[in-house]
Amino acid sequence: MKGFKLTFLLIATLMGQPLWADLAVVVGKDALVDNVSTEDLRRLFKGQIRALDGTRVALLDMPEGSSIRDDFYYRLLHKHAAQMRSFRARMIFTGKGAPPRAVSGLSEMKVLLRAGDKVYIGYMDSSQVTPDLRVLMTFP
What is the domain-level CATH number for residue 29? 3.40.190.10
Identify whether 12 is part of a domain.
no
Residue 2's pLDDT band, with cuts at 50, 70 and 90, is low
Average pLDDT on 59-69 reads 96
Identify whether 43 is part of a domain.
yes
Of 10, 45, 18, whose CA–CA distance to 123 is shortest?
A: 45
Q: Which domain holds residue 70?
A: 20-139
pLDDT one-digit tens code per residue, 8-27: 444 444 444 445 579 999 99
Identify whether 57 is part of a domain.
yes
Identify whether 4 is part of a domain.
no
Count the neighbouring beta carbons within 10 Å of the beta carbon of residue 118. 13
SS3 40: helix
pLDDT one-digit tens code per residue, 70-118: 999 999 999 999 999 999 999 999 998 889 999 999 999 999 999 988 9
Identify whether 62 is part of a domain.
yes
- Domain count of the chain? 1
